[in-house]
Homo-oligomer: A and B are copies of this chain.
């Protein structure tokens, strides 16, 4: 399956401002990209990339004073299969966890494991282990929180979401991540593109999505406490301990987001062909 995805953001800075972005498909999927516009800004400015400690590719630039539009359009090859479900996947006994997974058991900015530990053990201490325990956490979170874009608050932590019982997809992910960590299951926060492939179209404007990954049977599996059902065509952008590590856009100075548009749709080979030949014509000019 081919999926076309991309974004167009415009923001305004009163003065030149260092900005870092995590907006593009994770470079682990480099080999599956079939088309990608070069990083494009209006006005054209130089940008650079670096790899953060989580393996994400961060784009860094000085946003000039005034409006800056940043946009990308891409096509990626995907297997078209839904998120796997492995009911029998086991928890790795904590004493056998690999060193690099231990970081994902600790507390972080939005996942206060210290404050949620007793709550987690109360709810999930008697769940079956492994996949089923993570599923129990997703079921609980999906049921406990009421979703609403009007509930977005950038400082809300997992503990606050638990108490307030409202949130957006990032709150669902944060609470589930914190619960998993309390139960000694390494969990990391992820975000990316998720279109309405194979599900009824969602009328609200498309946005980046947040979900999470847990470490079972020696590898990382995707879970989504917000939609709480396997989905087709997730395109991961970045992973971290929580949203503090992988903001879409971080400006080290004030900025106003003026426009924001995201797309993620299945396309056929003809669309890809047309994009590629259009791009060849542009380069030839």
Q: Which A residues are closer than 8 A to B by beta carbons?
A: 1, 16-18, 20, 27-34, 36, 38-39, 46, 48-53, 55, 58, 60, 62, 77-81, 83-84, 88, 94-100, 102-103, 105-109, 112, 114-115, 154-155, 184, 217-222, 234, 236, 244-245, 250, 252-253, 279-280, 283
Contact = CB atoms under 8 A, between A and B. Distances in A.
Contacts of A234: 31
A50 B50 contact: yes
Nearest to A16: B95
Contact of A39 (B36, B39, B108, B218): B218
Number of copies: 4
Given A77-B79, A252-B184, A53 B218 contact: no
A18 B95 CA distance: 5
Contacts of A50: 50, 98-100
Given A39-B218, A155-B114, A252-B94, A77 B88 contact: no
A52 B109 contact: no
Main secondary structure of the interface of A (DSSP, over half): mixed
Given A33-B219, A88-B283, A245-B106, A154 B252 contact: no
Contacts of A95: 16-18, 62, 252
Contacts of A20: 102
Contact of A79 (B51, B78, B83, B94): B78
Nearest to A88: B283
A33 B98 CA distance: 19
A250 B106 contact: yes
A78 B79 CA distance: 5
12 contacts: A18-B95, A27-B220, A48-B98, A50-B98, A51-B98, A52-B99, A53-B103, A60-B102, A79-B79, A99-B99, A107-B244, A112-B155
Nearest to A87: B280
A175 to B, nearest CB: 16
Contacts of A97: 18
Nearest to A25: B219
Given A109-B112, A244-B107, A34 B100 contact: no
A194 to B, nearest CB: 13
Contacts of A16: 95
A36 B89 CA distance: 11
Contacts of A94: 18, 252-253
A218 B39 CA distance: 9
A79 B53 CA distance: 29
A2 to B, nearest CB: 8
Nearest to A31: B222
